């Protein structure tokens, strides 16, 4: 079989390997997957069913249903973002497709893409598949994993063409306030970087409000914002996301999308439309539950003396376990039947940490934390 070099350059997902290990055992509590334990709000599911009953099973416009784009434009107003539904919004098959298409639309062979780390596992492969060169920008636990001007300068990000940004962050749960983000915007403008800002966890911000980097002066014209329905609306399996950007950027992305995907899943678009129209209360309810679990998990880590920085967004905690995190995670799984993800999977700076997803019910979370405590005490 003839496999392209750029595919061979990317190893299989480390998270998957870990879950195969977990599946071999019974009674495992998984704090591993980055996926809500809730189902999509009922109104969204009903809208999907209703669309099927009415026989709405055709393609939609390449860019997505106009009603949905209008509703998205309205929705993102809460983050002070203003985008034109006809020219500046692309509905995609999950934020994943939007990210993939963006890499292919904006990265030429050899272009450098700065990726702050630890970060979501798909960014670096996405850059490589597009023919680009990933440039790791480590963030530091002493800065609560927030990206600083200094981090960017130390990593030589001024030589990059693009910056991949993700706050609230997977895997650290870090968020960035307006004043902190201003430094990143300043760096991007100074060094003429285009910014790809993955804001899929925007609605899951527990302290303060989410700020988009696209709201800073001179940033809107150099930024594409990514969001979707997987996290806030618990719709991972419906595969729906979107990108917001200047007309030229969205046109370029749509050029690829219209050939490779044609249009995002129609049934999911009906669900998403209803989710935006009527499901704010459910989102708030889920967020409140995540927040309760977040506080619980952080307090338990404190009790067991495991250093854990105060995650303020998404649904992850990122405790410091010290030493070999892969070994820690494997032994924890073997001895105590709790699956977590080793931090080193998320790139530079992740070593010695674990990603704990608290998108798991409080009962299981309680048992899992007791097991982690037993494991830590026995070491």
In the bound state with ligand PMP, the residue whose beta carbon lies nearer, of 91 and 375, is: 91
Under the binding rule (CB under 6 A), the answer on residue 350 touching ligand PMP is: no
On whether the CB atoms of residues 237 and 268 are closer than 8 A, the answer is no
Listed in sequence order, the residues at least 6 apart from 233 whose beta carbon sits closer than 8 Å to its beta carbon are 40, 41, 44, 272, 275, 279, 282, 283
Q: Which stretch binds ligand PMP (CB under 6 A): 20-28, 91-99, 108-116, 367-375?
A: 91-99
Tell me how far, at minimum, the Cβ of 80 lies from ligand PMP, in Å.
21
- Candidates 64-72, 89-97, 256-264, 345-353; binding stretch for ligand PMP (CB under 6 A): 89-97
Q: Is 94 in the site for ligand PMP (CB under 6 A)?
A: yes
Return the DSSP state at 353. B
Could you say whether residue 241 binds ligand PMP (CB under 6 A)?
Answer: yes
Least separation in angstroms between residue 92's CB and ligand PMP is 8
Pick one of 83, 106, 120, 129: the residue that binds ligand PMP (CB under 6 A): 120
Residue number, 34 or 41, with CB nearest to ligand PMP: 34
Strands 112-117 and 133-138: parallel
Q: How far apart are CA 312 and CA 96, in angstroms?
A: 23
Q: What letter would DSSP give residue 41? A: P
Candidate list 170, 172, 211, 263; residue touching ligand PMP; CB under 6 A: 170
Task: Please pick, from the candidates 18, 30, 32, 34, the single residue that binds ligand PMP as defined by CB under 6 A.
Answer: 34
251 Cβ partners below 8 Å, 6+ apart? Answer: 87
Nearer to ligand PMP, 195 or 336 (CB): 195
Whether the CA torsion 14, 18, 23, 24 is positive or negative: it is positive
The residues, ordered by sequence, that sit 6+ positions from 142 with a Cβ below 8 Å of its Cβ are none
Minimum distance, C-beta of residue 120 to ligand PMP, in the bound complex (Å)? 4
356-375 mask for ligand PMP (x: CB under 6 A)?
--------------------
Give the residue carrying structure tokens 């003429």: 192
For residues 272 and 285, what is the distance between their CA atoms, to the nearest angstrom? Answer: 18
> Is residue 174 within the footprint of ligand PMP (CB under 6 A)?
no
Q: Is the CB of 100 or the CB of 300 nearer to ligand PMP? A: 100
168 touches ligand PMP by CB under 6 A: no
Choose between 161 and 198: whose C-beta lies nearer to ligand PMP.
Answer: 198
Round to whole Å and give the CA distance between 46 and 190. Answer: 48
User: In a 10 Å sphere around its CB, with 0-12 CB exposed, 13-18 middle and 19+ buried, how is residue 376 labelled?
Assistant: middle
| Binding span for ligand PMP by CB under 6 A among 93-101, 174-182, 212-220, 303-311 | 93-101
Helix (H) or strand (E) holding 247: helix 247-260
Binding mask 56-85 for ligand PMP (x = CB under 6 A): ------------------------------
Give the list of residues 6+ apart from residue 5 with CB closer than 8 angstroms, or none: none
Q: Which residues bind ligand PMP (CB under 6 A)?
A: 34, 94-96, 120, 166, 170, 198, 200, 228, 230, 236, 241
């Amino acid at each position: 079989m003839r496999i392209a070099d750029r595919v061979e350059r990317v190893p299989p997902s480390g998270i998957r390997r870990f879950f195969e290990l977990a599946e071999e055992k019974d009674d495992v509590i998984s704090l591993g997957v980055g996926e809500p334990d809730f189902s999509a709000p009922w109104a969204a599911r009903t809208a999907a069913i209703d669309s099927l009953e009415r026989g709405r099973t055709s393609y939609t416009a390449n860019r997505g249903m106009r009603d949905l784009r209008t509703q998205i434009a309205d929705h993102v107003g809460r983050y002070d973002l203003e985008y034109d539904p006809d020219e500046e919004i692309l509905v995609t098959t999950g934020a994943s497709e939007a990210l993939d298409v963006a890499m292919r639309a904006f990265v030429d062979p050899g272009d450098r893409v700065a990726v702050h780390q630890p970060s979501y596992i798909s960014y670096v492969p996405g850059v490589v598949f597009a023919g680009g060169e990933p440039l790791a920008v480590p963030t530091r636990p002493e800065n609560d994993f927030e990206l600083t001007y200094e981090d960017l300068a130390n990593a030589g990000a001024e030589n990059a063409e693009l910056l991949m940004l993700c706050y609230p962050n997977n895997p650290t749960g870090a968020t960035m306030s307006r004043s902190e983000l201003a430094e990143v915007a300043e760096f991007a403008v100074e060094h003429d970087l285009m910014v790809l800002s993955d804001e899929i966890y925007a609605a899951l911000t527990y302290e303060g409000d989410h700020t988009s980097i696209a709201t800073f002066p001179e940033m809107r014209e150099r930024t594409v914002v990514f969001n979707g329905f997987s996290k806030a609306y618990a719709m991972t399996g419906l595969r729906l996301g979107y990108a917001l950007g200047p007309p030229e950027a969205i046109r370029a992305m749509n050029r690829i999308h219209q050939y490779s995907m044609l249009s995002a899943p129609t049934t999911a678009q009906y669900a998403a439309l209803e989710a935006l129209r009527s499901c704010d209360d459910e989102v708030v309810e889920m967020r409140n539950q995540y927040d309760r679990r977040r506080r619980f998990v952080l307090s338990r880590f404190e009790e067991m003396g495991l250093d854990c920085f105060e995650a303020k967004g998404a649904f992850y905690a990122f405790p410091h376990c010290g030493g070999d995190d892969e070994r820690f995670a494997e032994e924890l799984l073997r001895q105590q039947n709790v699956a977590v993800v080793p931090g080193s999977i998320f790139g530079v700076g992740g070593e010695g940490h674990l990603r704990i997803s608290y998108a798991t019910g409080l009962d299981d979370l309680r048992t899992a934390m007791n097991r982690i405590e037993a494991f830590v005490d026995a070491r």
